[in-house]
Amino acid sequence: MHLTKKTLHRWMTIGALALGAGLAIAAAACSDTQSAVAPSAANGSAAAMTDSGNGMTMPTTQSSQGAQIYVADLKPLNPQVGFGAVTGQAKFQIVNGMFVAMDEAKNVQPGVIHPQHIHAAAECPPPSADVNHDGYIDVIEGVPFYGAILVPMDSDLTNQAAGTFPSVDNPGGALHYRQAAPFAALLADLNAPDPDPTDAVVKLNGAPLNLPGRHVVVHGVSLDTPLPSTVASLPGLPAQLTLPVACGEISAVNR
């Protein structure tokens, strides 16, 4: 099962009123003056990727010397619902002109689509983000902390408006995601004109990608999960689909 961006169009057209200050924070985050990622990475062919089933493996057919590597340790959000407290790790590598994104997580709801993104701002939501005190940090409450969507982690990293999100198709709740794309193509899309500056997806507008400090957020619990009516969602989407279940700050790996 996969969720296409066409199905999620309403996710991407929330509007400034719904997101409030969160989008302003996200836009400011995109203007950071220092970059840990060189935007002029040379073009190159993709290195082969293998999955040992025991963790994340990096490209192996070409030397990864000089690669830029980043990780985000995923920690639970809303662990009281769903399959369990979601934990894991996302990893990103820029090598030989390619951008490689991957994540592994456990206790992710089986049989459910899991939208996941690199978000633009600088913080995972703390318990105080639950401003209506209903016991849940919903997607609207989380946005002022982790910001708007920058890179959807789906099947097409070169287009914010294309691709499909993964689902967990095993009964154990293990999420496995791998995708690679030319780094230049990813940057070209992130610096293309923004078709809707009021929606939940932002562009770099010439600013550096600056992965360290940005955040990975994973969403989604079973659609039959009972949630109070106070748990907010995006227009036309069930709260179960958009509920954040894990978040992690991206940091550079010293080599």
The model carries a pTM of: 0.79
- Give me the residues paired with residue 90 across strands: 72, 103
Q: How far apart are CA 196 and CA 255, in angstroms?
A: 39
Domains of the chain: 3-39+68-252 (2.60.40.200)
How far is 243 from 240, CA to CA, in rounded Å?
A: 5
- What is the tens place of the pLDDT at every residue in 9-56? 434 443 333 343 333 333 443 344 333 333 333 333 333 333 333 344
Closest CA to 127 of 106, 139, 117, 142: 142
Q: Please write the tens of the pLDDT for every residue from 164-205.
A: 999 999 999 999 999 999 999 999 999 999 999 988 899 999
Average pLDDT score over the chain: 81
